[in-house]
Structure 1
Amino acid sequence: MNADRDTLASAARDPDTRPRLGWTLLALVLLWPLLLLAEFRPWALFEANNLQVMGAFLAGFLPPATSTEFLGLLLKATLETLAIATAGIALALLIAIPLAILCTRALAVSLLGPGPGRLGGSVLRTAGHALLTFLRAIPEIVWALMLVRVFGLGPAAGVLALAVTYGGMLGKVYTEILESTDTRPTRALLAAGAGRCAALTYGLLPNAAQELTSYTVYRWECAVRASVIMGFVGAGGLGQLMDQSMKMLNGGEAATILLVFLLLVVLADELSATLRRALA
């Protein structure tokens, strides 16, 4: 009886328990000096003086501003933010889609068999990956700082800054999503003489469309949030209005702007869910 019980206990025991525990302990050992280097001290949040300072700061955000004049400015800035984010993502797609098609190995005709084009195709894919790395390595705030000096204060600098940085991010993730799906239909289409666009449309997109759409909407949401940071350097939108409110120590206006950002995030979540259901 005891032997049967021991056998059942041994069978129920997860054989990966010890390796997982070992990797967890190793991660903690490596993480601790990094936390010390970053001066990570969350317990400071609960010190009496700090709680008092944070409470006073948050109290300045109440009540939210609701004056007609400010709400008019807020509506204009919200529409400008949505225009910046949407136009920036649209231009980013013009960068990301061609580079993703170029960098996706499953769409490489030269890899179907031996031939003179293999080296050239490899060079082009490497160059495409390098360009995507360069585009996403430079934060959008840096592009915005440079482009504001070219276009002046306003949304044009924000649109182009988002397009460049997010073009690199979207292209990188699109490539990974396309390469992580089942590539056998795509290879069969290419081997039968189909072009890259046909292989992409009928071989990869049916399985990857939901994930691609979800990530694109998420990046649009990130673009809306990024407009706050770029607004501080004069790139327009809600960020610039937030900068003005904070400089004037008007917490009520800042609270209303934050509520609008919350609504925009909810809108992005609903849009993503709707598109995913439509593509299911």
Structure 2
Amino acid sequence: MSNDVKFPPKPKRTKLKIKLGITLAVLAALYTVALTTTGFEVRPSASSAWHTLQRIFIAPLFDADTRAAFPELVGYMLETIAIAYAGLSIAAILAIPVGFLAARNMTGNNLSYIGKGILNAIRAIPELIFAIIFVAAVGIGPYAGVLAISINSIGMLGKLYAEVIETIDMSKVEAIKASGGNRVQAMWYGVLPQVVPEFSSYAIYRFEIDVRASTVLGIVGAGGIGFPLLLATQQRNWEDVGMILYVVVIFVTIIDIVSGKIRNKLV
């Protein structure tokens, strides 16, 4: 018996190489035509990038007129925080039933798919799109921002809530039912004590995100400090832009520090 192993012949790749070469040649020709026939004109700026950065980050600290606007900007920022808080308060409550609906160990696979489908549909749409829709529906102002923040936050909080519910210890729930407790008692004494701390932690973390999102929503007329930022940018008032950014950074930093300490105590 011969020990020689016969391998099948290697497939010919000549045709594949020819097709690949033709494709690359066509793409190269198209890019060459596009680059040679398209006009690229860059309009020079009246000021350099370094000068603009100085006006944004350094000039506001020494310009008296810009510093005088600080209290007004703080008011706009407080409005932004209020929008985020109101939107989160609505979302944190409404996300609970949706989260339970999306949890497999609470409703089963069929209803869980429905709940997760709702949450996926909400998360697929950015809050900026929701803000544009609600501004057109209810008009310019903080109310549209609150609605946009609340709807968008439901999608994220509902998903996080569902994941928390799916990881709870079901033996406690079964023990309450076995001792004669009904479904409501099992939910109240077996499920909620396990999920409330993490629900609160996620809600606080979402509040930090909503504050940043509310800053952007003002650009489309949803209230808050975003509109003054947009107006200053369009008018090239870089000193005002810098002062607004300072206000945003200060408040966001304070919120991050405070919320971080609260989350550490909850979890």
TM-score above 0.5, yes or no:
yes
Runs of at least 4 residues of structure 1 off by over 6 A? none
What SS does structure 1 have at the residue aligned with 2:140? coil
2:55 maps to 60
**Taking structure 1 as reference, are residues 101 and 172 closer, same or farther at Cα in structure 2, changes over 3 Å only?**
same
2:89 maps to 90
What SS does structure 2 have at the residue aligned with 1:141? helix
What SS does structure 1 have at the residue aligned with 2:236? coil
2:170 maps to 183
**Taking structure 1 as reference, are residues 194 and 245 closer, same or farther at Cα in structure 2, changes over 3 Å only?**
farther
1:75 maps to 74
1:226 equivalenced with 2:213 (yes/no) = yes
What SS does structure 2 have at the residue aligned with 1:126? helix
**Taking structure 1 as reference, are residues 223 and 181 closer, same or farther at Cα in structure 2, changes over 3 Å only?**
same
The CA RMSD measured in Å over matched residues stands at 2.7
What SS does structure 1 have at the residue aligned with 2:225? helix
1:277: how far off?
Answer: 4.8
**Taking structure 1 as reference, are residues 248 and 203 closer, same or farther at Cα in structure 2, changes over 3 Å only?**
same
1:71: how far off?
Answer: 2.2
Name the amino acid aligned to 1:221: E
**Taking structure 1 as reference, are residues 248 and 102 closer, same or farther at Cα in structure 2, changes over 3 Å only?**
same
Q: 5 Å matches for 1:112-131?
A: 122-131=109-118
**Equivalent residue in structure 1 for 2:243, among 239, 246, 256:** 256
1:147 equivalenced with 2:134 (yes/no) = yes
Q: Is the 8 A contact 2:80 2:225 kept in 1?
A: yes
**Equivalent residue in structure 1 for 2:145, among 155, 158, 164:** 158
The size of the alignment, in residue pairs, is 218
Within 2, Cα distance between the matches of 1:63 and 1:81?
25
**Taking structure 1 as reference, are residues 193 and 129 closer, same or farther at Cα in structure 2, changes over 3 Å only?**
farther
Within 1, Cα distance between the matches of 2:50 and 2:201?
37
Q: Is the 8 A contact 1:105 1:179 kept in 2?
A: yes
Within 1, Cα distance between the matches of 2:177 and 2:97?
18
What SS does structure 1 have at the residue aligned with 2:199? helix
2:100 maps to 101
Within 2, Cα distance between the matches of 1:202 and 1:54?
61
**Taking structure 1 as reference, are residues 178 and 70 closer, same or farther at Cα in structure 2, changes over 3 Å only?**
same
1:100: how far off?
Answer: 0.9
1:190: how far off?
Answer: 4.3
**Taking structure 1 as reference, are residues 75 and 187 closer, same or farther at Cα in structure 2, changes over 3 Å only?**
same
**Taking structure 1 as reference, are residues 95 and 207 closer, same or farther at Cα in structure 2, changes over 3 Å only?**
closer
Q: Return the TM-score normalized by structure 1.
A: 0.68
What SS does structure 1 have at the residue aligned with 2:221? coil
Within 2, Cα distance between the matches of 1:66 and 1:207?
54
Within 2, Cα distance between the matches of 1:66 and 1:221?
31
What SS does structure 2 have at the residue aligned with 1:60? helix
Determine which structure has more spread, i.e. the larger CA radius of gyration.
2
Give CA-to-partner distance per residue, 1:23-78, whole Å, 9 cap, x none.
Answer: xxxxxxxxxxxxxxxxxxxxxxxxxxxxx965333222122266465223212211
